[in-house]
Amino acid sequence: MSDHSHDVAAEVRKYMLVFGALLVGTVITVLAAKIHFGSHSINVAVALLIATVKGFLVAAYFMHLI
């Protein structure tokens, strides 16, 4: 039988940190939506940047791509 031991507490901590980062990202998204950055295209670019970072976190950690 192979030995696949790992620290479960460390894994849970990692997922909770990513979850917290996603919550912070959501708050930043809501706050950024209320700010007018000068033009509509800049607002869209900011929203896409935030969504890209959040999408990376989901794919990298929750879909085990890292």
The tens digit of pLDDT for each residue in 42-58 reads 999 999 999 999 999 99
Q: What is the pLDDT of residue 46?
A: 93
Where on the phi/psi map is residue 12: left (φ > 0), alpha (ψ -120 to 50), or beta?
alpha
Which pLDDT score, from 0 to 100, does residue 6 have?
A: 79
- Listed as ranges, residues in the chain with pLDDT below 70 are 1-3
Per-state percent for the chain, helix, strand, coil, to nearest 5: 75, 0, 25
Q: Tell me the pTM.
A: 0.81
Say which residues have a Cβ less than 8 Å from residue 29's Cβ, sequence separation at least 6: 47, 50, 51, 54
Two structure tokens written together for 49: 């940047």
Output the pLDDT for position 29: 93
